[in-house]
Amino acid sequence: MLTTATTSDVADDQDSNSPKTDSTKPVVIITLGMAGSGKTCFMQRINAWLHAKNKCPYVINLDPAVFELPYPANIDIRDSVKYKEVMKQYQLGPNGGIITSLNLFATKFDQVLDILEKKKDIDFVLIDTPGQIEVFTWSASGTIISDAIARSYPTVIAFIMDTVRCTNPVTFMSNMMYACSIMYKTRLPLIVVMNKTDIVDNKFAVEWMNDFETFQEALDAQPSYSSNLSRSMSLVLDEFYKDLRTVGISAVTGQGCANFFREVGSAVKEYYEEYIPHLEELRRVIEKRKEEEMEAQLKKLKVDRGEEVQLEEDKLNPTQTTNLPPSFSNYNDSNDNDSDEEVQYEESTAAAASFERYRAGLS
């Protein structure tokens, strides 16, 4: 299902077979993409577009190193963490400084969730991320932030691709690999936003995704080791393309915004159809594991207290339990209340010895 959007308004229509959705919750759009792909410009564009449609977006900037933002941010990481100070304090380079700033911010992310919880009138939450994509996608803080938000709100990833740079088939393949890894890592619905269509139409990229031969021809035009790798990878990614949403956009002119929000509508459906059941399944697995661990611990505790000995003996001689000597019966009935484990252990040992003497007497 490679979907490319046609014109539409903010898509919110749901047919009767749709999964249960919660229209009271804002939709979160996390913007990710390679450095310079146009994430920040895209944020500014969709923010303006939503305002023009009388929708209320809430904007969060998570890039601590950005010098100037072209949009007003409701929450800005730069207000909480001074990236240059972090670099000085921890003696880090620029990338280390950005990662550490994001880590520091992630420790307070529950406060962001609290703020969002209190906002009742917002339709969308837009999140801008640092320039270096790996800072967010492969760091603990990026995972903490995206997981925390996706657990509470319908969340969609907008993967911004620089269409101009992707006219090079090897660069195109690197972008697709990144999009693919993000999709499988987060399991969230993802839209590939082919940005900068005011410079180059994204038709060629859609064609490469739909027609394997065309992409091969493009690769043949520049033989290299990386082209060979891209050729092999394109075979693997063929499956991934089927589940991918793509849309052409120009963050500068605003062309394609309506199409983007149409895709967001379908991605939100996917969130409820696939991400939520996956989350519930995960919760069940964790609960089951916890139960099993608790049972194992309880069993261990019983063994430590000698109860298991008694249970085994019960199984071997079910009729004898009624004829047990008083010390053994007493242990069974009453000593559970004794909180002192040492005393219980001594008593159980004495009881077992007494029982052994009793059985020896019987035979």
Q: By the criterion CB under 5 A, which residues form the site for Mg ion?
A: 39-40
Label residues 21-42 b or e (16+ Cβ within 10 Å = b). beeeebbbbbbbbbeebbbbbb
Q: Binding mask 104-133 vs ligand GTP (x if CB under 6 A, - otherwise)? A: ---------------------------x--
* Of positions 199, 285, 311, 353, contacts ligand GTP by CB under 6 A: 199
Name the residue number minimizing CB distance to Mg ion.
40
Does 196 bind ligand GTP (CB under 6 A)? Our answer is yes
The smaller minimum CB distance to ligand GTP, of residues 160 and 268, is found at: 160
Residues with Cβ within 8 Å of residue 2, at least 6 apart in sequence: 206, 209, 210, 241, 242, 243, 244, 245, 246
SS3 assignment, position 279: helix
Per-residue tokens: 47: 């923010």
Does 251 bind ligand GTP (CB under 6 A)? Our answer is yes
Cα(231)–Cα(226) distance, rounded to whole angstroms? 9
Tell the smallest beta-carbon distance from residue 195 to ligand GTP (Å).
5
The smaller minimum CB distance to Mg ion, of residues 40 and 137, is found at: 40
Tell the smallest beta-carbon distance from residue 280 to Mg ion (Å).
35
Does 94 bind ligand GTP (CB under 6 A)? Our answer is no
| DSSP at 167 | G
Report the site for ligand GTP in 28-47 (rule: CB under 6 A): 33, 35-41
Q: Are 257 and 49 in contact (CB under 8 A)?
A: yes
Tell the smallest beta-carbon distance from residue 281 to ligand GTP (Å).
34
**At what angle are helices 212-220 and 225-242 packed, to 10 degrees?**
170
Tell the smallest beta-carbon distance from residue 77 to Mg ion (Å).
12
Q: What is the DSSP string of 204-218?
A: HHHHHHH-HHHHHHH
Q: Which amino acid is at 272?
A: Y
Question: Tokens 């320039």 — which residue?
Answer: 131
The smaller minimum CB distance to ligand GTP, of residues 161 and 324, is found at: 161
Name the residue number minimizing CB distance to ligand GTP.
131
Q: Are 204 and 140 in contact (CB under 8 A)?
A: no
The residues of the shown chain that bind ligand GTP, judged by CB under 6 A, are: 33, 35-41, 63, 131, 195-196, 198-199, 250-252
